[in-house]
Amino acid sequence: MGIKKYFMLWWLFTRITTQVALQSRFGTVIFLVGKLLRFTFFLLFLVLLVSKTKSIASYSFWQVIFFFATFNLLDSIPQFLWREVYRFRNYIMRGFFDYIITKPISPLFRCLFGGSDILDLFILLISVVFAIYSAGQLSVVTFTGVIVYMLLIINALLISLAFHIFVLSVGVVTTEVDNSIMLYRDLTQMGRVPIDVYQEPLRGLLTFVIPVGMMMTFPAKALMGILSLENMLYAVLFSITLLFLSLYFWQFSLKKYASVSS
């Protein structure tokens, strides 16, 4: 099946999940307001914090804001694209995964892209605008920096994709999804601020072992021109390796899967 057909399937799944999400207009409004308030309150917290201290870990006001904007961008895109992962445990428990693996499409595609959440698109658009605006306030932004920033954003999304595949694989083997995905969410929340604010050895752990800094901080540093080439290459190598391992684990989990009818 070609890329065009998979795109059409994604669009069909997204339309269906959108219709379900918009059934309750009041619930939709509450969800969006809650997301916006969460975004606004932490932004205000950062503004107040930096205005009192003048800097955080030697970063200026707009640099700290740009780190936060990059975090929001990388937090919103996976939620929008791979929202189906949050529904996966229910598929396993109800036996719907048995139905998925019998269809002539990739089970991994279906479990990842089985319906993007249109409600996350609102926050995603705000995050894009916020990132562009805050980047414009930085004193040194070069064309090369922008290109490297975009490449590291893609690299961070590959790391996020690998984690989501790991979560799906764990769900197939153990039926445990909710705790795994929330662990991922909790860890990435530590990237709201520059990873440099943490003391060693936590800083190194969150940068090179648990790749929060690699995902959330490296792209912003690259745009500012303060990320070394060695760290860029390490980030790329890490993402490729992690993605390969996650795909291998997914294939392993399918072999170990015992359907509900077994």
C-alpha span between 117 and 99 (Å, rounded): 22
Look at 25 and 161; give whichever has higher pLDDT. Answer: 161
C-alpha span between 205 and 218 (Å, rounded): 14
DSSP conformation class of 139: S
C-alpha span between 29 and 247 (Å, rounded): 37
- b/e code 221-232 from CB counts within 10 Å (16+ = b): bbbbeebeeebb
Q: Which range has the worst mean pLDDT, 7-21, 22-36, 70-84, 94-108? A: 22-36
Asked if residue 82 lies in contact with residue 161, where contact means CB atoms within 8 angstroms, the answer is yes
Give the percent of the chain with pLDDT over 70: 90
Q: Is residue 167 part of a domain?
A: yes
- b/e code 176-187 from CB counts within 10 Å (16+ = b): ebeebbeebeee
C-alpha span between 166 and 169 (Å, rounded): 5
Q: Is residue 45 part of a domain?
A: yes
Q: Is residue 95 part of a domain?
A: yes
Strand partners, 59: 56
Q: Is residue 14 part of a domain?
A: yes
Average confidence (pLDDT) over 153-178:
91
Look at 78 and 43; give whichever has higher pLDDT. Answer: 78
Q: pLDDT per residue over 215-229, tens digit each? A: 999 999 999 989 999
How confident is residue 168, by pLDDT bands cut at 50, 70 and 90? very high
CA distances 149 to 8, 53, 67, 161, 203, Å, are 30, 27, 12, 18, 21
Average confidence (pLDDT) over 145-157:
95
Asked if residue 223 lies in contact with residue 149, where contact means CB atoms within 8 angstroms, the answer is yes
Residue 37: pLDDT above 80? no
How confident is residue 162, by pLDDT bands cut at 50, 70 and 90? very high
Total domains in the chain come to 1
pLDDT for res 5: 86
pLDDT for res 154: 96
Look at 160 and 51; give whichever has higher pLDDT. Answer: 160
3-state secondary structure of 59: strand
Q: Please give the residue range of the domain that contains residue 198.
A: 3-256
Q: Is residue 262 part of a domain?
A: no
Asked if residue 88 lies in contact with residue 111, where contact means CB atoms within 8 angstroms, the answer is yes
Q: Hunting for tokens 């021109």 — which residue is that?
A: 225
C-alpha span between 253 and 97 (Å, rounded): 13
CA distances 7 to 3, 82, 104, Å, are 6, 14, 15
Average confidence (pLDDT) over 61-86:
88
pLDDT for res 247: 96
How confident is residue 52, by pLDDT bands cut at 50, 70 and 90? low
C-alpha span between 49 and 51 (Å, rounded): 6
How confident is residue 27, by pLDDT bands cut at 50, 70 and 90? low
The mean predicted confidence, pLDDT, of the chain is 85
Long-range contacts of 223-232 (CB under 8 A, 24+ apart): 223/66, 223/135, 223/138, 223/141, 223/145, 223/146, 223/148, 223/149, 224/63, 224/66, 224/138, 224/140, 224/145, 225/140, 225/142, 225/145, 227/148, 232/148, 232/152
Average confidence (pLDDT) over 131-150:
88
Q: Is residue 180 part of a domain?
A: yes
Average confidence (pLDDT) over 241-247:
96
Kindly give, in sequence order, each residue whose CB lies less than 8 Å from that of residue 197, ignoring residues fewer than 6 positions away: 56, 57
Q: pLDDT per residue over 173-202, tens digit each? A: 887 777 888 888 888 888 888 888 888 888
Q: Is residue 245 part of a domain?
A: yes
Q: Is residue 47 part of a domain?
A: yes
Q: What is the per-residue DSSP string for 144-203?
A: HHHHHHHHHHHHHHHHHHHHHHHHHHHHHHHS--HHHHHHHHHHHGGGGS-GGGSPTTHH
How confident is residue 241, by pLDDT bands cut at 50, 70 and 90? very high
pLDDT for res 49: 64
pLDDT for res 252: 93
Give the percent of the chain with pLDDT over 90: 27
